[in-house]
Amino acid sequence: MKAFHEYKNPSLAVDLVVFGYHNNTLSVLLLNRKDEPYKDQWTLPGGFLQMEETLRDTCERILYTKLGMNKVFLEQLYTFDEPERDPRGRVIAVGHYALINPSKFQIVAGTMANDVKWFNVKHLPALGFDHKHIFQVALQRLRSKILYYPVGFELLDELFTITELHELYECILETKLDRRNFRRKILDAAYIINTGTKREGLKNRHPELYRFNKQLKKNSFHINTPEDE
């Protein structure tokens, strides 16, 4: 056996799938790279771990310095280790996904990228590295997670209507959900709390505003999709 310090180590990076929801569209944030490899191509934001950081620290640093975001929902996804995934050498990437409310942040390209843009998840450009794959794993995770865990609030404003929540679910799951059954299930689960206020200034009936119930017990609900059958 080799001594501890004799092992060569791959580089360790994080890659981030940052989801945002806006105008009834689920989007993902991509960077246009300024440098090789994959210069001028779109990729997920990412970066190398520094020795004193946790993986979460690295993600938060990237979110903050490259994108100007902080205090967002962030979860580890999977570790991607294909030996050829990065042409510069052996890089192992711990994929994460974040859920953010785009209206809260002004995204900035920083010095690292030509451009930073939101892309509709249904119409992504070609991605560098294995980022298409990482994105697909993230989208799948988000879809399964939203069925049993109240994760949608991260994507909405603090106050929202049931219709807005309903549209978010339909958008993420790419399926129709019965409006009345959705409402009943969400309310029965005590998943959201009626604030007693209404959204004003719309041309139709003013819908009631709700907020997330942070005291929610885990596992108290499950949304079914038509594909469950």
Partner DNA sequence: TCAAAAGTGTTAGTAGTACACCCATGG
Partner DNA sequence: CCATGGGTGTACTACTAACACTTTTGA
Q: Are 119 and 125 in contact (CB under 8 A)?
A: yes
Single out the residue of 38, 73, 78, 105 in contact with its own copies (rule: CB under 8 A). 78
Burial class (CB in 10 A: 0-12, 13-18, 19+), 38: middle
163 binds, among DNA, its own copies, none (CB under 5 to 8 A by kind): DNA
> What is the rounded distance in angstroms from the CA atom of residue 116 to the CA atom of residue 149?
30
120 binds, among its own copies, DNA, none (CB under 5 to 8 A by kind): none
Shortest distance (Å) from residue 24 CB to DNA? 12
Shortest distance (Å) from residue 82 CB to its own copies? 7
The distance from CA 73 to its chain's CA centroid, rounded to whole angstroms, is 8
184 binds, among its own copies, DNA, none (CB under 5 to 8 A by kind): DNA
Shortest distance (Å) from residue 146 CB to DNA? 15
> What is the rounded distance in angstroms from the CA atom of residue 202 to the CA atom of residue 23?
16
3-state secondary structure of 95: strand
> What is the rounded distance in angstroms from the CA atom of residue 54 to the CA atom of residue 14?
11
Residue appearing with tokens 């945002």: 20
Give the nearer residue to its own copies in terms of CB position, either 25 or 65: 65
Shortest distance (Å) from residue 154 CB to its own copies? 21
84 binds, among its own copies, DNA, none (CB under 5 to 8 A by kind): none
Cα–Cα distances in Å, from 184 out to 187, 223, 227? 5, 11, 20
- The answer to whether residue 83 forms part of the interface with its own copies (CB under 8 A) is yes
Q: Which residues bind DNA (CB under 7 A)?
A: 161-163, 178-181, 183-185, 198, 200-208, 222, 224, 226, 228-229
Cα–Cα distances in Å, from 186 out to 33, 148, 154, 181, 195? 42, 11, 16, 9, 15
Shortest distance (Å) from residue 180 CB to DNA? 4
Site for its own copies, rule CB under 8 A = 1, 4-5, 7-12, 48-52, 54-55, 76, 78-79, 81-83, 88-90, 92, 94, 112, 219, 228
